[in-house]
Structure 1
């Protein structure tokens, strides 16, 4: 038969039209590739699921690729579902004919001819089990093979196969049922997960272990028959029972998961957390519920100091407890830091040359305009060293230091280093900030304390592996080392060479009104931050850092040490910087003096920076025109004489700061230490104790008696002056002595005066009101 040109063109046109029709159909009915929407999983550093967010249909997935799934699973899956997967074009005619013959012969459906590609097509575009639905499935299968590679199609199955309830994907099933990643599946586990999608509800291994085991053994038998696995391997796998605990949804670090989920759109959110440590600390905190007052929450943050990776993140005591405001993340909440800022100030003062570790500071009553700070434990200690003041968290020495350093300077340097403080609107840094008169976050405080573990550099905690390490210097390595030694209880240089193991350096803090209890620790390898309080800011009587937060801090530290010990991880000792030295200094001057020098009233061993020992720091309002050093004229016998007397020579006398006089032994007070006066050539009469001051009440005060207390009690103190002191109330003699306690029974106006032996007087007027 002769083929005409017209017929030849028709033969050529038909395939072109068919191809065009397929192309148009593909554009009109595009392949519905999946969009997981809101489905996300939050992972620990090792890939363990911490938390999951389901999609709009309540399904959660753990994305996986063939490379991260056990080869056992892929072998079992392809052998049981589609052994010609890599050879057919999506549809296997032989498998369809074989399934049809078996179903006709049996009179019921006993086998399906669907390939893995066809199953993926049905997962992406569900359809009714009708002829039209089957044709639709075949069309979607062809589209899959057209647009995607075999690896991409297999990946879709690995992530979309149903495993019962809200589980989709082999990785989610592996974690939920077996508690392990899909890469670690055994042969028996791989066979079990390969068959589960056939009937995920009927074969759930946690509910129907007998059914699940029978289905698994069927897969194992086929693998043996087709010589994919050896008979011995299959026999060993069949001996493994299917006994699984109830399925568990990942629920660790929920507040961190919520925080990262709000900032990410990726289906997988990776963190730096240690899943085992997170679970251990959540169990620990759950055990603390009985010790926490009602409506009280707690937060714990653990950071590895070397790389600033966050290893545990507990933002509240219990996220499911509305009474404790468990939904509030207290790691990021702004709270008053109490005394936790003090170590930064002492380090800054060391670098500024204001102090060394044993500098003499003054724990005495003071007022700064309307601001009159006190100590957490009522009372004052008088002369204290810088190391003692920091370790005991005394308030007045810290305020003295901040006054000398400058609150604006201190706040600005902290902010520049990355520790941003939050001030009330229109407020400026002032002396109250060092006692907690400012806002801070637990995360920021832990970042700040990293300076004591990272040679003076403050670094931001890293929540995710891809986050860069950001750090800025705040203090010198030497200052960081000295403050860390003080916080670890190792302030004495004499003990520096007998340390057997690194200690935990920590600082506690309590905000005004017992609202916040803090404990921040610097361990050998980890930084630990603990906060306890009520998220709504209500005071909790008797709750303070040392009693509430410190015990929890020490328990966390012990857990970390035990974990490292079990893993054989060494605990590093912080190396002593070359700039750090030690020196024997003398009080009250604060500097080295030769042995036998009468001005060395108390010798102490101090840590110093760059070989310098700064003199004792005096408060601005306590110079009294004299400072510490005074020049006297003495004769050959050592008696005080006039400068014009024969044999008179100048003698330098270092006095204790005048406000410390009431706390000094009588032999150390100025009037007792001064040489006797020569009767032949006496010096010009003068006061030996400096200006007379009155402490305990201020001029113009209006004092109200406390509720439930009828009398008002005041402790009054005379500072400075010389010799005896006499007290007068409204011009009438009252008492004699340096310190008195006066009771005011009635309201009214009062004038209080004090007179010393040199004739100095000072007085204040105040009012007692109802």
Structure 2
């Protein structure tokens, strides 16, 4: 009895020592599951691979789980490789004995007897194919079974099995060989992929289709033999020939892939990209590239504004074209936005009560310190409505509006909504920012435009599937609705019964100084579309501007998106008129509604208004104090202007247009005709108006001819009257240098054309003349 107890103790002690030894070896030599630089793949929303990033050995994978693989493949794999996978502890003694007997009888290696777990062990820790290596492989298999579940071991095989060259895993093989997800494999495809890892180079279906077919049929016969698949089904599949096209590597949205790979640590990064749309846009880019000037690139961004998911991201026109800096992602680059910021200013001004949709603004020459902006189309247009100024992208009304709203305030409002404007070091926001005198990123500009489609809420772009929807208020729903309708060509109020609930394409162009950046931002019923054209190195391209370079691309993309199968048969998002928006008739020049027949209503305008407010006409700094729009005059019984203390004097208010608009008004609307004549017996004590500014030497509408044989025409003009000592001259909106204290200009014309000459005084008065040189 004592010897038996001693034997039992020795046995238990030996077992404990063995377990301790195994535990120690397991600790000293852990499973090499962690990779230093793992392979990663960026995929579209539907799982289509967009771009791959290989590991340190140049291998790329498409991670999958058993649930993401066709059950036909799992049946073929386990039946052919390891029928008892779900039951053995990592090694199958019966399979090893059978393999050894077959090898001895045949005099060569016929069967290895490896389980699927042992194959995984060989994949994660390769060893020589000898007896020692086999023992090491068996030990690793036991470790795998010890630390991992059967599902986890199967997942390792699905993602590590070799398929030739740089491919590992059934996911990468399915997409590369068949162009489909592994979940969609047919029975025949599943049988083929199940056997390829045995000899991926020798069985390559694009090079050796006969070998691949023979190996596939061997798997099919095994499946029929064990009754896994019906015999009739197997025979039918065996009639299918095997030939696959050469492998295709994922090559879509490379610059987006480079961007998101830094945002996630996952092996498979799922984006919100629509692979089909991305492929179409990149194919169209090859056609666009041919029409672009040398060294010019293009960027396109498409966002579903109902979800803010990015559906297409093309950061350059051609990744491989180094002359166009194809490796630079222009969607994330800081560029001058030109005029694309103007809609935000008009929307914020609506909310601030500065304007209504049809308020009177002034497109006239002005100076703001040393800053004298002009219009892109040259010349000036005088009185314009806010909606017209926005649609025509006139610069002077935008600067007038920004002066009233405040450049710092606009910058802060945009930054709060996610659009950060970039200024030179130590520079503060100034009036030039609304014309492109700042920097912005396309991704932030397009995201901010979502406010016009999302009831005033500007939302952040969603690049990854797990990104939450984050939005910040920028505009009121009413202001966003009005601006979007203006940009869509529906500035004039309509009854709700005739007003389309689905808004047509609304768009805005922008061109930076020197034709460096051409922009077009569009909002259709479902998508935001951003287009940028220019040279990434910032050099000018003469004749490149938004309407010519970017709008054609925007229109093509709009039609492509609206004709997509995803929108067919689906109701498009509607944008009904908010309760805060109503229609009203305004009167120019005062900007207020007036009853019919009121002499102060010089021009009636149908306008959308916000919250029932009708702001008075916005005046430039100093105009109201100098001149005023509602001037009070005292009249005698003959209707002549007299002093207020004259006998019988009666007060009367006269609506006047802003004095800088005088050159663009009909003669009957100018102040000289609108104000009654002065009484000689009891004249007013003082006049507030400055002496009128006159332009001599040229008449409005005059046609000038060059002398026969002469290529040039010289013209001398003079400014008379006006206020102050300085004068500023403009020819077609361009500032001219002044001579003789600014009172005289000598102009030389060497080509025919239409011209507009303007002169501005210290009080804001303008004298202008349009003429033709022939």
Note whether the superposition's TM-score is higher than 0.5.
Answer: yes
Quote the Cα distance in structure 2 between the aligned partners of 1:714 and 1:38.
76
Matches within 5 A, 1:645-656: 647-656=648-657
Structure 1 segments unaligned to the other structure (5+ residues)? 697-708, 722-726, 735-739, 746-752, 764-770
1:569 aligned residue: 570
1:549 aligned residue: 550
Is 1:605 aligned with 2:609? no
Residues 378-413 of structure 1 deviation map (CA, whole Å, 9 limit, x = unaligned): 100011000000000000000000111111122122
Quote the Cα distance in structure 2 between the aligned partners of 1:383 and 1:32.
76
Is 1:446 aligned with 2:442? no
Matches within 5 A, 1:329-344: 329-344=329-344
Quote the Cα distance in structure 2 between the aligned partners of 1:322 and 1:127.
44
2:63 aligned residue: 63
1:498 aligned residue: 498
SS at match of 1:378: coil
Quote the Cα distance in structure 1 between the aligned partners of 2:741 and 2:449.
55
Residues 567-599 of structure 1 deviation map (CA, whole Å, 9 limit, x = unaligned): 422222212110101111111111111112222
On the 8 A contact 1:164/1:200 being kept in 2, the answer is yes
Matches within 5 A, 1:296-695: 296-494=296-494, 497-500=497-500, 501-563=502-564, 567-623=568-624, 625-635=626-636, 638-641=639-642, 643=644, 647-676=648-677, 683-684=683-684, 690-693=690-693
On the 8 A contact 2:50/2:252 being kept in 1, the answer is yes
2:770 aligned residue: none
Residues 637-675 of structure 1 deviation map (CA, whole Å, 9 limit, x = unaligned): 645455455654222111111000011121221112333
Residues 166-204 of structure 1 deviation map (CA, whole Å, 9 limit, x = unaligned): 111111111111111111111111111101101111112
1:250 aligned residue: 250
2:273 aligned residue: 273
| CA 1:8–1:576: 2 relative to 1, 3 Å | closer
On the 8 A contact 1:658/1:719 being kept in 2, the answer is no
SS at match of 2:242: coil
On the 8 A contact 1:36/1:267 being kept in 2, the answer is no
Quote the Cα distance in structure 2 between the aligned partners of 1:715 and 1:40.
72
1:13 aligned residue: 13
Quote the Cα distance in structure 1 between the aligned partners of 2:742 and 2:392.
41
Residues 447-493 of structure 1 deviation map (CA, whole Å, 9 limit, x = unaligned): 11111011111111111122222211111111111011111111010
TM-fit CA distance, 1:733:
11
TM-fit CA distance, 1:29:
2.5
TM-score, with structure 1 as normaliser: 0.89
Residues 62-115 of structure 1 deviation map (CA, whole Å, 9 limit, x = unaligned): 111112111111100011111111122222222223223333443433333111
Is 1:235 aligned with 2:235? yes
| CA 1:478–1:715: 2 relative to 1, 3 Å | farther
Moved more, 34-43 or 496-505: 496-505
TM-score, with structure 2 as normaliser: 0.88
On the 8 A contact 1:670/1:688 being kept in 2, the answer is no
Quote the Cα distance in structure 2 between the aligned partners of 1:127 and 1:228.
33
On the 8 A contact 1:339/1:393 being kept in 2, the answer is yes
TM-fit CA distance, 1:242:
2.6
| CA 1:584–1:645: 2 relative to 1, 3 Å | same
| CA 1:595–1:166: 2 relative to 1, 3 Å | same
| CA 1:505–1:159: 2 relative to 1, 3 Å | same
TM-fit CA distance, 1:16:
2.9
| CA 1:733–1:458: 2 relative to 1, 3 Å | closer
Moved more, 568-577 or 232-241: 232-241
SS at match of 1:18: helix
On the 8 A contact 1:692/1:762 being kept in 2, the answer is no
SS at match of 1:532: strand
2:84 aligned residue: 84
TM-fit CA distance, 1:207:
2.5
On the 8 A contact 1:671/1:688 being kept in 2, the answer is no
Quote the Cα distance in structure 2 between the aligned partners of 1:357 and 1:7.
101
Quote the Cα distance in structure 1 between the aligned partners of 2:336 and 2:691.
38
| CA 1:687–1:232: 2 relative to 1, 3 Å | farther
| CA 1:586–1:25: 2 relative to 1, 3 Å | same
Quote the Cα distance in structure 2 between the aligned partners of 1:57 and 1:762.
73
Matches within 5 A, 1:79-228: 79-228=79-228
On the 8 A contact 2:627/2:658 being kept in 1, the answer is no
On the 8 A contact 1:272/1:462 being kept in 2, the answer is yes
Quote the Cα distance in structure 2 between the aligned partners of 1:108 and 1:444.
67
Quote the Cα distance in structure 2 between the aligned partners of 1:241 and 1:496.
63
Residues 12-32 of structure 1 deviation map (CA, whole Å, 9 limit, x = unaligned): 333333333323322332222
1:737 aligned residue: none
On the 8 A contact 1:213/1:241 being kept in 2, the answer is yes
Residues 488-513 of structure 1 deviation map (CA, whole Å, 9 limit, x = unaligned): 11101037643555311111101111
Matches within 5 A, 1:287-302: 287-302=287-302
Quote the Cα distance in structure 2 between the aligned partners of 1:587 and 1:755.
23
Quote the Cα distance in structure 1 between the aligned partners of 2:324 and 2:4.
90
On the 8 A contact 1:643/1:683 being kept in 2, the answer is no
Quote the Cα distance in structure 2 between the aligned partners of 1:374 and 1:168.
61
1:44 aligned residue: 44
Quote the Cα distance in structure 2 between the aligned partners of 1:60 and 1:755.
68
Quote the Cα distance in structure 2 between the aligned partners of 1:489 and 1:719.
42
Structure 2 segments unaligned to the other structure (5+ residues)? 697-710, 724-728, 730-737, 751-757, 768-774
| CA 1:345–1:247: 2 relative to 1, 3 Å | same
Is 1:259 aligned with 2:253? no
Quote the Cα distance in structure 2 between the aligned partners of 1:659 and 1:341.
26
Matches within 5 A, 1:701-716: none
TM-fit CA distance, 1:372:
0.6
On the 8 A contact 1:90/1:145 being kept in 2, the answer is yes
Quote the Cα distance in structure 2 between the aligned partners of 1:755 and 1:556.
44
TM-fit CA distance, 1:37:
2.0
On the 8 A contact 2:365/2:760 being kept in 1, the answer is no
On the 8 A contact 2:520/2:531 being kept in 1, the answer is yes
Moved more, 360-369 or 32-41: 32-41
Quote the Cα distance in structure 2 between the aligned partners of 1:732 and 1:109.
102
Q: Say what the alpha-carbon RMSD is for the aligned residues.
A: 3.1
TM-fit CA distance, 1:634:
3.3
On the 8 A contact 1:584/1:604 being kept in 2, the answer is yes
Quote the Cα distance in structure 1 between the aligned partners of 2:692 and 2:621.
16
SS at match of 2:418: coil
Quote the Cα distance in structure 2 between the aligned partners of 1:219 and 1:731.
97
On the 8 A contact 2:518/2:546 being kept in 1, the answer is yes
1:750 aligned residue: none
Residues 194-235 of structure 1 deviation map (CA, whole Å, 9 limit, x = unaligned): 011011111122222222222112211211121101123223
Quote the Cα distance in structure 1 between the aligned partners of 2:119 and 2:317.
45
TM-fit CA distance, 1:717:
6.5
Moved more, 406-415 or 509-518: 406-415
| CA 1:605–1:7: 2 relative to 1, 3 Å | closer
Quote the Cα distance in structure 2 between the aligned partners of 1:52 and 1:733.
69
TM-fit CA distance, 1:678:
6.0
